[in-house]
Amino acid sequence: MAAVCPFRSPASTAGHITTVKQAQEVVRPNIDWFPSYKVYKDRVERLAALYPNRPTTLPAGWPSQVNAERTWSGSDFASENDYIVHLSADDITEIEGALAHFKGLKGDLGPDDVNPRTFPLPSLGTRLTDLANVIHNGRGFVVLRGLNPDKYSNYDNILVYLGVTSYIAETRGLQDFDGRMLLHIQQVVADVKKHGSMPNSPYVARAQPFHTDLCDVLSLYALDVAAYGGESFLASSAKIYNEIARTRPDVIHVLAADDWPFDEFWEGQYHTRPLLYNFTSSSSSPPSGNTPNPDPVSTSNAGAGPGFQFSRRPLTGSHFSPHHPAVPSMSELQAEALDMVYFLAKEHAVEITLRKGDVQIFNNFAMLHARSSFGDDADHRRHMLRLWLRNDALRWTAAAAGSTALERISYEIYGNNEYRRNAIWDIDRSPPELRVKHRRASCA
């Protein structure tokens, strides 16, 4: 979801954030939050004529191709069983036993205290730990199927969710400036203007274009699904990178440059950073600075490699979240690159229809994700619990250009800061109305 810190205090301008005070209008490219393919193709043709001598080689240190299990196209999966892990009756019994164990512990324990020690899964836990490697060094995502959320109270559903995911990624991240550790993603208000503002995408039924969130690992637990729509789409960042590196190496230069203007949606503040990063894995030896890959022909899964960190809204603005008039515009070359990533993601995505009780977990740096629009009815109301997670032993980190911005975001989500020390767990309610309207508190 957003590529800006969602819980920065309004007074904070630290960390390469610039405040624009002038009020002149900025001329922007013709580019929308949901892009037009015709506009994109017209731009490609126009820029090809204007810039015939663009780079024909990749930037130093970037691989020509990513040869890893996380490099896939949606058509590579024969069926959903290629990525779904089915929980057996014995698994569910073990989960419910762990829930009873946690609730029987002495002391004033709450969601923050759920971990593999307080939520013991002696058999299933080993398999869940193995899935952490799938997410970080394998195909990048899994779906756990077999839970029945109707069996549990709202509080117990959260405890079960935290307990299961703690074996895959034990550290949880803050998701807004109020200190929320868990978000209820559902249609809260109508998608209409009210009091001069529009609600944010996670809390209405509109579709969301391909983007990343701010976390390392993203998880959704489907307490309920929509009457229709709401499909999840995942696209391999490595596949997108390979296509661009093979056909348009000049675009890699554009995506990896640190001059992309991200609107903070607060009094004209913005920051600049790349969209594309050359990640290293904590489980492998990182390269030093901008030193070229020892094997520049390819990169293996152990070295993590290229991945994206951005969402379109801070770059393009939208009908519900317009730019401050003086925040700098992206260039025409950047607009071309941004839409190229989108349409390649759309081409190679896998469509996942989540069922009630499913838990989806994926590497946010290795995937772009999107959502179709949906509709609820009296018997089906889409309701996802979202966690931002990190596996400290397997985490990916950004090297070289742009890493400072990601380190700032990382600290504000996972660091020992004032918001984390006052963590909030919303057990059975949606965000307050103010947060629904607050553009800085949303990602897509």
Residue 429 belongs to domain with CATH number: 3.60.130.10
Tell me the backbone φ, ψ of residue 198, rounded to 5 degrees: -110, 150
Q: What is the pTM of this model?
A: 0.89
Burial 138-177 (b: 16+ CB within 10 A, else e): bbbbbbbbbbebeebeeebbbbbbbbbbbbbbbbbbbbbb
Q: Which residue has the higher pLDDT, 221 or 188?
A: 221
The predicted pLDDT at position 133 comes to 97
**What is the CA 112 to chain-centroid distance, rounded?**
22
Residue ranges making up the domain that contains 267:
17-441
The burial of 340, by beta-carbon neighbours within 10 Å (0-12 exposed, 13-18 middle, 19 or more buried), is given as: buried
| Three-class SS state of 222 | strand
State yes or no: pLDDT of 197 exceeds 70. Answer: no
Residues 63 and 292: their CA atoms lie apart, in Å, by 9
Hey, which of 7-21, 52-66, 197-211 has the most confident mean pLDDT?
52-66
Asked if residue 4 belongs to a domain, the reply is no
For the chain, the domain total comes to: 1
pLDDT, tens digit, 9 for 90 and up, residues 52-94: 999 999 999 999 999 999 999 999 999 999 999 999 999 999 9
The predicted pLDDT at position 187 comes to 83
Longest CA–CA separation in the chain, Å: 71
| Three-class SS state of 277 | strand
Question: What mean pLDDT is reported for the chain?
Answer: 87
* Cβ-Cβ contacts under 8 Å for 194 (sequence gap 6 or more): 437
Place of tokens 């869940």: 128
The predicted pLDDT at position 94 comes to 99
The predicted pLDDT at position 198 comes to 52
Nearest to 241 by CA among 371, 399, 72: 72
pLDDT, tens digit, 9 for 90 and up, residues 280-295: 987 754 433 333 344 4
The predicted pLDDT at position 177 comes to 82
Confidence band (pLDDT; 50, 70, 90) for 326?
Answer: confident
Asked if residue 425 belongs to a domain, the reply is yes
**367-371 sheet: strands from edge to edge:** 208-211, 367-371, 232-236, 350-352
Place of tokens 């499909």: 231
* Cβ-Cβ contacts under 8 Å for 83 (sequence gap 6 or more): 77, 139, 141, 142, 143, 350, 352
- β-pairing, 228-229 vs 276-281, is unpaired
| Three-class SS state of 350 | strand
Please say whether the beta carbons of 260 and 334 come within 8 A. Answer: yes
Please say whether the beta carbons of 32 and 316 come within 8 A. Answer: yes
Confidence band (pLDDT; 50, 70, 90) for 201?
Answer: low
Asked if residue 148 belongs to a domain, the reply is yes
Average pLDDT over residues 187-216: 73
Please say whether the beta carbons of 245 and 404 come within 8 A. Answer: no
Please say whether the beta carbons of 359 and 219 come within 8 A. Answer: yes
DSSP state letter for 112: G
The predicted pLDDT at position 202 comes to 65
Asked if residue 12 belongs to a domain, the reply is no
Average pLDDT over residues 159-175: 98
Asked if residue 10 belongs to a domain, the reply is no
The predicted pLDDT at position 435 comes to 60
Asked if residue 142 belongs to a domain, the reply is yes
Please say whether the beta carbons of 250 and 334 come within 8 A. Answer: no
The burial of 24, by beta-carbon neighbours within 10 Å (0-12 exposed, 13-18 middle, 19 or more buried), is given as: exposed
State yes or no: pLDDT of 8 exceeds 50. Answer: no
Residues 213 and 435: their CA atoms lie apart, in Å, by 17
State yes or no: pLDDT of 176 exceeds 70. Answer: yes
- β-pairing, 65-66 vs 298-299, is parallel
The predicted pLDDT at position 403 comes to 75
pLDDT, tens digit, 9 for 90 and up, residues 392-436: 999 999 876 567 888 889 999 999 888 888 899 999 877 666 565
Asked if residue 7 belongs to a domain, the reply is no
Q: Which residue has the higher pLDDT, 428 or 3?
A: 428
The predicted pLDDT at position 308 comes to 97
The predicted pLDDT at position 216 comes to 98
Nearest to 163 by CA among 108, 199, 110, 233: 110
pLDDT, tens digit, 9 for 90 and up, residues 78-134: 999 999 999 999 999 999 999 999 999 999 999 999 999 999 999 999 999 999 999
Average pLDDT over residues 211-226: 97
The predicted pLDDT at position 290 comes to 35
